[in-house]
C-alpha cells in the first residue's frame, strides 16, 4: 500500500535503529516527549520501544484530545442531549469516554439518540436528513480537526441549516506544551513534534521552544520509519548542542502551515480566556469557542449549559501521567479499578491514551524474552 | 447441578452494546452469568458448538442470532449469513451440519419482498452447504421494536471421525493456520452502512467453510487441536480465548497475516486493527508441527483455500497472550476487542 509500506520497510527500519544506537551511545539518558497521542499509539502499535536502546526514554505527552477533556464537558453535552429531539453526534473516540452518568455509548443503550460520525460534515448531513431534529456535534480535537468543524459551520450558515450546532471543545497545542515546560517536575531533553496538528499550524509556532527553552523539536510523521528518523534528527541536534525546529514530515507538513484552514478557524472561532484541561488544570488562552457571528450554531449559546465540574477520583493520577511525571502503571488505579473495559480516566479509553497502550504493554517483559528467537 | 445460589461474577449494572460485540464484555457476560446459572460449575472451555449425547451418539449442537444492519451488503445478506454462520460454528467444531431450525423475529411493516428475498437467500445457502432446514418459528413485534428482521438459526451436526478438538491439547510449537484474508466482512458492513463516505471494492467473505474444514481434517485430522471461525471480535479475540484456555502464548508474524488492500486501507484510515474485524467465511486452526505442511497444502488445494497461510505459532510465553511480531523485531500485544470497533479521529 502506497505511503504506508515504504515507511515500514524492515531493512530501513533496522538500519535507522542501528543509527540511533550509535548516536545515543551509552553515556547519557535521553528523555524525549512525543506530544501527540497519535505518536503514542504508533509507538505501541509498531513496538518501537523494543528496538530503541534503553537510554532513550519516550515520555507520552498531552496530545490526546479525548484524554485531556474534563469529565464535566461530557456531562454538560450529555445534559443538553437529554432535551427532546436532539441527536448527539460525535467521533468514535468519544463514545466510550465516561461521564459521571456513563459514556455516550451507555447513554445510547439507554435510548439517547447518539450517532458516531467520521467528520463534522457527516453530522451536518444528519441535520439535513432529520429536519425535525436538532443535531449537536460534539467537536473535539486540536488544530487538526478544528478547521473541518469551522468549514462545516460556515456551510451550515451559507445553506441556512438551523437544526445544527456545535458543542466546541477544540484546544490549542502550543499552550499545552508551554504548560508542560512550565511544570517544575518535568525534565525533558527534546520533543517529537505533532504531525497532523502541524499540517495546519506549520512549524513556526514551535520556534520559541528551540529559541527560549533550548529544546530541539522535530515535527514527525506517524509511520515507524518517520518516528525513528525523527529520533535520529533529535539525537544529532542534542549531540551537537543545538536546538532547532526541524520538519521530518515534509511530505505532509508545510513550514508555513495551511493558510486556508487557519482562515476558516479565524472566521468561526475565538480564543477562550481560559479552559480546563484534565490533569493540567486551567490553562489560559488554550482553547477555542464559537464567536458571535456563529452564535446560532453554537450549542453553548443556544442551550443552557449546566457548567458541571467534576473532580477526578482522588486516587486517579491522570494528571501526572498526562504530564509524563508518572508512567501509566505507576498510577494506583492502573489495571485494578481502571481498565480498558471499565476506564476511570480517559487515558484508558482512547487508543491514543498512554494508559490503554500501556495496559497492553505491561505484561510484555516476559514476552520479549522469546522474541529474539522468532524467525 | 446448577449453582443457583452462588454469587455471580458478572456485576455490570445493565447490558450495553459491548456485551454483544463478541469481545471481552461478551465473554464476561457468558462466563459470569450464563454459564454458571445455565451450565453449572463443571464445564470445560466454551467452544462454538456443544456436544450432547443422544442414546450414546455424540451430536454437535449450536445456535446463533443474526441482527446485521443493513440486511443486504456486497457479497451477502442476513439470510445467507444465518445459514453459513451456524454451519460454520458446527464445522469448526469438527461437525457436518445435518439440520437447521430457524426463528424469525419480524418488525411489523417489513415488506414481503424483503422477507422473501432473505428466505430465498437462506434456501440457496442451505442448498449450497448441503444442510436441511427442518423447522421454523415466526414472531412479529410492533413497528419500532426491532430493526426490520432478526434471524436465529440452531443447528445440529454429526462429528467427523478422526479429529478431537480441545484447546487444552494445544502445545508449544504448534502452528496457527488461517484459511484466508481477514476483515472482509466487517469492513464491508462498516462501509455498507454508508455513514463513513468511504467506498472500496470489497465483498463480505460469507460462505460455508465446511468443505475447507473437511479437506483439512482428511489431510491432517490427528494433528488438528483446535479450530474457530473468527466472527465478531475478529481473529484477535478467538486467539485470545485460546491463549487463555490453554495458558500458552499465540505468536503471530504480522507480515504473514493475509489482509486485502481495501481492508488494510480502511483500517489504517479508521484506526482499526484487522485482527479485530469480523469475518464470516474464514477459520483458524492450530495444527501440530508434524501435520502443518500437509494441512496447509490440503487447504490451499481445496476450492477457496488458496490464500491460506500459517500465520504464527504457539509458544510457552507470553502465556495467555496474543503477541504480533514485525519483521524488524518490534512486537505488540493484541488483546481481545473491547466493545465495538469504533473509528478514531486522527
Interface of B with A in 268-327 (CB under 8 A): 268, 270-271, 315-319, 321, 323, 325-327
Q: Please give the Cα distance from A119 to B195 (Å, whole number).
A: 10
Domain ranges in chain B?
48-159, 167-333
- The interface predicted TM-score (ipTM) is 0.77
Residue range A181-190, pLDDT digits in tens:
988 777 899 9
Of A278-282, B52-56, B74-78, where does mean pLDDT reach its minimum? Answer: A278-282
Q: What's the whole-number average pLDDT of chain A?
A: 89
Q: For residue A370, which residues of chain B lie inside 8 Å, CB to CB?
A: 249, 251, 315-318
pLDDT of residue A7: 87
0.80 surpassed by pTM: yes
Residues A32-54 have a mean pLDDT of: 90
pLDDT of residue A371: 39
The residues, ordered by sequence, that sit 6+ positions from A281 with a Cβ below 8 Å of its Cβ are A319
Q: Does the pLDDT of residue A373 top 70, yes or no?
A: no
Q: Does the pLDDT of residue B51 top 70, yes or no?
A: yes
Interface of A with B in 214-243 (CB under 8 A): 224
CB atoms within 10 A of CB B158: 15
| Spacing of C-alpha B282 from chain mean position | 8
Q: Does the pLDDT of residue B42 top 60, yes or no?
A: no
* Among A4, A118, A144, beta carbon nearest to B268: A4
Q: Please give the Cα distance from B265 to A18 (Å, whole number).
A: 30
pLDDT of residue B121: 97
Structural fold of domain B48-159: 60s Ribosomal Protein L30; Chain: A; (3.30.1330)
A95–chain B Cβ distance below 8 A for any pair:
yes
Q: Identify the residue whose cell numbers are 451559507.
A: A158
Chain region(s) in chain A for CATH 3.40.50.11740: 67-173+257-302
Of A159-163, A263-267, B101-105, B185-189, where does mean pLDDT reach its minimum? Answer: B185-189
- Mutating which of B247, B332, B337, B343 best tests the A interface, going by the most A Cβ atoms within 10 A? B332
Q: Does the pLDDT of residue A363 top 50, yes or no?
A: no
pLDDT of residue B1: 47
Cβ proximity of B185 and B92 under 8 Å: no
* Among B14, B24, B330, beta carbon nearest to A48: B330
Cβ proximity of A103 and A97 under 8 Å: yes
Q: Does the pLDDT of residue A370 top 60, yes or no?
A: no
Q: Please give the Cα distance from A115 to A9 (Å, whole number).
A: 38
Q: Please give the Cα distance from B30 to B23 (Å, whole number).
A: 11
Q: How far is A241 from chain B (nearest CA, A)?
A: 30
A160–chain B Cβ distance below 8 A for any pair:
no
Look at chain A and count its residues.
Answer: 375
Q: Identify the residue whose cell numbers are 502443518.
A: B292
Of A75-89, A113-127, B19-33, where does mean pLDDT reach its minimum? Answer: B19-33
Q: What's the whole-number average pLDDT of chain B?
A: 91
Cβ proximity of B102 and B119 under 8 Å: no
- Sign of the C-alpha dihedral computed for residues B170, B172, B174 and B176 taken in this order: positive
Residues A67-83 have a mean pLDDT of: 93
Q: How far is B244 from chain A (nearest CA, A)?
A: 14
Residues B223-249 have a mean pLDDT of: 95
Range B167-333 classified under CATH 3.40.1410.10: no
A341–B338 C-beta distance less than 8 A: yes
Q: For residue B251, which residues of chain A lie inside 8 Å, CB to CB?
A: 370, 374
pLDDT of residue A367: 40
Nearest to A308 by CA among A72, A69, A103: A72
Q: Please give the Cα distance from B275 to B233 (Å, whole number).
A: 8
Q: Please give the Cα distance from A252 to A71 (Å, whole number).
A: 33
Q: Does the pLDDT of residue B297 top 90, yes or no?
A: yes
Structure-block grid coordinates of residue A309: 465540574
Q: For residue B17, which residues of chain A lie inside 8 Å, CB to CB?
A: 105, 108-109
pLDDT of residue B41: 63
pLDDT of residue A366: 38
How large a percentage of chain B has pLDDT more than 70?
95
pLDDT of residue B342: 64
Structure-block grid coordinates of residue A341: 473495559
Interface of B with A in 244-263 (CB under 8 A): 249, 251, 253, 261
Q: For residue A360, which residues of chain B lie inside 8 Å, CB to CB?
A: 332-335
CATH code at A67-173+257-302 = 3.40.50.11740
A269-307: burial string, b at 16+ Cβ within 10 Å, e else: beebeebbbbbbeebeebbbbbeeebebbbbbebbeeee
Query: Could you tell me the CA-to-CA distances from B344 to A122, A185, A261, A283, B267 in Å, in that order?
Result: 15, 32, 21, 26, 10
Of A258-267, A330-339, B258-267, where does mean pLDDT reach its minimum? Answer: A330-339
Interface of A with B in 100-139 (CB under 8 A): 105-106, 108-110, 115-119, 122
B14–A4 C-beta distance less than 8 A: no
pLDDT of residue B136: 95
DSSP 3-state of B100:
strand
Residues A344-370 have a mean pLDDT of: 65
In chain A, the residue whose alpha carbon lies closest to the alpha carbon of B331 is: A47
Q: Does the pLDDT of residue A312 top 80, yes or no?
A: no
Reported as type and span, the H/E element at residue A61 is strand A56-63
Structure-block grid coordinates of residue B58: 455424540
Q: B69 burial class (0-12, 13-18, 19+ CB within 10 angstroms)?
A: exposed
Q: Helix axis angle, A354-361 relative to A37-45, nearest 10°?
A: 10
Structure-block grid coordinates of residue A225: 520509519
Q: Please give the Cα distance from A85 to B104 (Å, whole number).
A: 32
Q: How far is A95 from chain B (nearest CA, A)?
A: 8
B323–A367 C-beta distance less than 8 A: yes
Residues A113-123 have a mean pLDDT of: 92
Residues B224-229 have a mean pLDDT of: 96
Structure-block grid coordinates of residue A323: 504530564
Alpha helix (H) residue ranges in B112-271: 112-129, 184-192, 210-220, 234-246, 261-270
What is the Cα gyration radius of chain A?
A: 21
pLDDT of residue B5: 63
In chain B, the residue whose alpha carbon lies closest to the alpha carbon of A126 is: B195
Strand A134-141: give its sheet, edge to edge: A114-116, A86-90, A134-141, A164-170
CATH class of A5-61+178-247: alpha beta
Omega of the bond leading into B336 within 30 degrees of 0 (cis): no
Of A198-202, A254-258, A350-354, B248-252, where does mean pLDDT reach its minimum? Answer: A350-354
Beta strands of A142-257 (E only): which ranges?
A: 164-170, 190-193, 217-219, 245-247
At A338, is the pLDDT very low, low, confident or very high (cuts 50, 70, 90)?
A: confident
Q: Please give the Cα distance from A61 to A158 (Å, whole number).
A: 38
Amino acid at each position: 500500500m502506497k505511503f504506508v509500506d515504504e515507511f515500514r520497510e524492515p531493512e530501513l527500519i533496522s538500519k535507522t535503529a542501528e543509527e540511533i544506537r550509535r548516536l545515543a551511545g551509552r553515556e547519557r539518558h535521553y528523555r524525549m516527549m512525543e506530544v501527540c497521542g497519535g505518536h503514542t499509539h504508533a509507538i505501541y502499535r509498531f513496538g518501537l520501544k523494543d528496538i530503541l536502546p534503553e537510554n532513550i526514554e519516550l515520555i507520552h505527552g498531552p496530545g490526546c484530545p479525548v484524554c485531556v477533556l474534563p469529565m464535566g464537558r461530557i456531562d454538560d453535552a450529555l445534559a443538553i442531549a437529554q432535551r427532546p429531539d436532539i441527536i448527539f453526534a460525535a467521533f468514535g473516540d468519544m463514545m466510550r469516554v465516561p461521564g459521571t452518568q456513563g459514556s455516550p455509548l451507555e447513554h445510547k443503550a439507554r435510548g439517547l439518540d447518539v450517532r458516531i460520525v467520521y467528520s463534522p460534515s457527516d453530522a451536518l448531513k444528519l441535520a439535513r436528513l432529520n429536519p425535525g431534529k436538532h443535531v449537536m456535534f460534539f467537536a473535539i480535537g486540536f488544530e487538526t480537526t478544528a478547521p473541518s468543524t469551522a468549514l462545516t459551520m460556515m456551510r451550515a450558515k451559507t445553506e441556512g441549516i438551523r437544526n445544527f450546532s456545535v458543542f466546541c471543545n477544540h484546544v490549542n497545542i502550543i499552550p499545552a506544551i508551554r504548560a508542560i515546560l512550565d511544570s517544575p517536575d518535568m525534565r525533558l531533553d527534546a520533543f517529537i513534534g505533532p504531525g497532523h496538528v502541524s499540517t495546519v499550524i506549520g512549524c513556526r509556532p514551535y520556534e520559541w521552544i528551540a529559541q527560549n527553552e533550548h529544546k530541539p523539536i522535530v515535527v514527525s510523521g506517524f509511520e515507524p520509519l518517520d518516528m525513528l528518523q525523527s529520533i535520529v534528527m533529535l539525537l544529532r541536534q542534542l549531540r551537537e548542542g543545538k536546538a532547532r525546529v526541524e520538519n521530518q514530515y515534509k511530505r505532509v507538513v508545510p513550514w508555513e502551515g495551511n493558510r486556508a484552514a487557519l482562515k476558516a478557524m479565524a472566521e468561526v472561532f475565538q480564543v477562550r480566556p481560559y479552559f480546563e484541561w484534565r490533569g493540567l488544570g486551567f490553562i489560559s488562552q488554550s482553547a477555542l469557542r464559537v464567536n458571535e457571528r456563529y452564535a446560532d450554531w453554537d450549542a453553548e449559546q443556544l442551550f443552557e449549559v449546566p457548567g458541571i465540574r467534576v473532580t477526578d477520583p482522588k486516587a486517579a493520577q491522570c494528571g501526572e501521567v498526562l504530564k509524563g511525571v508518572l508512567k501509566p502503571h505507576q498510577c494506583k488505579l492502573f489495571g485494578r479499578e481502571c481498565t480498558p473495559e471499565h476506564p476511570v480516566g480517559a487515558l484508558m479509553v482512547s487508543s491514543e491514551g498512554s494508559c490503554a497502550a500501556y495496559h497492553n504493554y505491561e505484561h510484555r517483559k516476559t514476552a520479549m524474552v522469546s522474541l529474539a528467537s522468532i524467525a | 447441578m446448577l449453582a443457583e445460589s452462588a454469587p455471580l461474577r458478572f456485576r455490570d449494572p445493565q447490558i450495553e452494546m459491548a456485551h454483544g460485540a463478541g469481545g471481552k464484555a461478551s465473554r464476561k457476560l457468558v462466563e459470569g452469568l450464563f454459564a454458571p446459572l445455565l451450565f453449572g460449575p463443571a464445564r470445560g472451555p466454551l467452544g462454538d458448538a456443544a456436544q450432547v449425547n443422544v442414546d450414546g451418539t455424540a451430536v454437535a449442537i449450536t445456535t446463533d442470532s443474526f441482527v446485521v444492519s443493513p440486511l443486504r451488503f456486497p457479497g451477502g445478506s442476513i439470510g445467507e449469513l444465518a445459514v453459513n454462520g451456524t454451519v460454520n460454528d458446527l464445522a469448526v467444531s469438527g461437525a457436518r451440519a445435518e439440520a437447521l431450525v430457524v426463528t424469525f423475529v419480524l418488525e411489523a411493516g417489513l415488506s414481503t419482498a424483503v422477507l422473501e428475498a432473505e428466505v430465498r437467500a437462506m434456501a440457496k445457502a442451505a442448498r449450497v452447504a448441503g444442510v436441511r432446514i427442518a423447522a421454523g418459528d415466526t414472531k412479529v413485534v410492533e413497528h419500532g421494536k426491532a430493526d426490520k428482521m432478526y434471524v436465529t438459526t440452531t443447528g445440529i451436526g454429526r462429528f467427523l471421525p478422526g479429529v478431537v478438538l480441545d484447546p487444552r491439547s494445544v502445545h508449544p510449537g504448534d502452528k496457527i493456520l488461517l484459511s484466508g484474508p481477514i476483515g472482509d466482512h466487517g469492513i464491508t458492513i462498516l462501509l455498507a452502512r454508508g455513514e463513513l463516505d468511504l467506498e472500496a471494492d470489497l465483498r463480505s467473505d460469507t460462505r460455508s467453510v465446511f468443505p475447507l474444514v473437511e479437506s483439512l481434517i482428511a489431510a491432517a485430522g490427528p494433528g488438528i487441536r483446535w479450530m474457530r471461525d473468527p466472527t465478531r471480535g475478529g481473529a484477535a479475540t478467538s486467539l485470545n480465548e485460546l491463549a487463555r484456555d490453554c495458558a500458552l502464548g499465540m505468536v503471530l508474524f504480522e507480515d504473514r497475516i493475509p489482509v486485502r488492500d481495501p481492508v488494510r486501507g480502511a483500517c489504517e484510515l479508521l484506526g482499526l486493527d484487522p485482527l479485530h474485524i469480523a469475518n464470516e467465511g474464514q477459520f483458524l486452526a492450530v495444527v501440530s508441527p508434524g501435520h502443518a505442511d500437509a494441512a496447509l497444502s490440503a487447504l490451499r488445494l481445496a476450492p477457496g483455500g488458496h490464500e491460506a497461510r500459517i500465520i504464527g505459532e504457539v509458544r510457552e510465553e507470553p502465556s495467555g497472550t496474543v503477541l504480533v511480531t514485525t519483521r524488524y523485531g518490534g512486537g505488540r500485544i493484541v488483546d481481545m476487542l473491547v466493545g465495538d470497533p469504533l473509528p478514531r479521529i486522527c
